[in-house]
């Protein structure tokens, strides 16, 4: 387990945005961007590789089940976190609803972060489709509010994530 500096995280975020823009330009189709919500300086905790693979499998099975064509898949596995990108041929709103069902399914889905971007690069929010914001891992408040107010410390969040990851064994 390796700590990630703030500069490394900022660079990784810039690289993620560049990869998304490249794939959107290349395929001119909606894009799924999948990562895991792991706060703190260590992004690849024990269990993260398996959880990431499970998330990718769930995404691919869901797309296949709903007859959504996958044009291209890219994965990135670095100490700053694991990422997967899927260029898909379907309505971005339909794709977002499918991905919300994965995020809301079971405890593991709670740490999935699955964004869907329209062809123009704009993310589709849960709220825009009539869904509630994602709840915090620890309490029932919206996760975004808890994160902004720092209601829970990183140790509490990591402990909960480690429990979720260990439940899979």
Q: Is 88 inside any structural domain? A: yes
Mean pLDDT (the chain, rounded): 93
Q: Is 93 inside any structural domain? A: yes
Give residue-wise pLDDT tens across range 82-112.
999 999 999 999 999 999 999 999 899 999 9
How big is the chain, counted in residues? 169
Q: What is the pLDDT of residue 45?
A: 92
Kindly write down the DSSP assignment for every residue of the chain, as one continuous string.
-----HHHHHHHHHHHHHHHHHHHHHH-S-EEEEEE---SS--S-TTHHHHHHHHHHHHHHHHHHTTPEEEEEEEEEETTEEEEEEEEES-HHHHHHHHHHHHTSTTGGGGEEEEEE-TTSPBPPTGGGTPPPPBPSSSSSBHHHHHHHT-S-HHHHHHHHHHHHHTT-
Q: Which of 124, 43, 55 is nearest to 84 (CA)?
A: 55
CATH code (residue 76): 3.30.70.260
Give residue-wise pLDDT tens across range 118-148.
999 999 999 999 999 998 888 878 888 887 8
Range of the domain at 17: 6-130
Confidence of residue 36 (pLDDT cuts 50, 70, 90): very high
* pLDDT(27) > 80: yes
* pLDDT(78) > 60: yes
Q: What is the pLDDT of residue 169?
A: 57
Q: Is 61 inside any structural domain? A: yes
If one counts the domains in the chain, the total is 1
Q: Is 150 inside any structural domain? A: no
Q: Which pair of structure tokens corresponds to residue 158?
A: 């990591």
Phi, psi of 46 (to 5 degrees): -55, 135
Confidence of residue 11 (pLDDT cuts 50, 70, 90): very high
Q: What is the pTM of this model?
A: 0.93
Q: Is 151 inside any structural domain? A: no
Q: Could you tell me the sign of the dihedral formed by the alpha carbons of 135, 122, 57, 68, in that order? A: positive
Q: Is 162 inside any structural domain? A: no
* pLDDT(28) > 80: yes
Q: Is 144 inside any structural domain? A: no
Q: Is 148 inside any structural domain? A: no
């Amino acid at each position: 387990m390796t700590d990630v500096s703030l500069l490394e995280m900022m660079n990784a975020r810039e690289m993620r945005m560049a990869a998304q823009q490249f794939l959107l330009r290349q395929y001119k189709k909606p894009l799924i961007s999948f990562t895991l919500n792991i706060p703190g300086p260590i992004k690849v905790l024990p269990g993260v590789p398996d959880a990431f693979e499970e998330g990718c499998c769930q995404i691919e099975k869901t797309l296949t089940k709903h007859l959504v064509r996958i044009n291209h898949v890219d994965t990135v596995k670095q100490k700053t976190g694991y990422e997967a990108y899927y260029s898909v041929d379907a309505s971005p709103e339909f794709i977002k609803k499918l991905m919300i069902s994965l995020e809301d399914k079971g405890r593991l889905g709670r740490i999935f972060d699955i964004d869907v971007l329209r062809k123009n690069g704009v993310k589709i929010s849960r709220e825009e489709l009539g869904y509630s914001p994602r709840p915090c891992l620890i309490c029932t408040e919206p996760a975004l509010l808890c994160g902004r107010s720092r209601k829970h410390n990183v140790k509490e969040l990591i402990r909960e994530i480690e429990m979720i990851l260990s439940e899979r064994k």
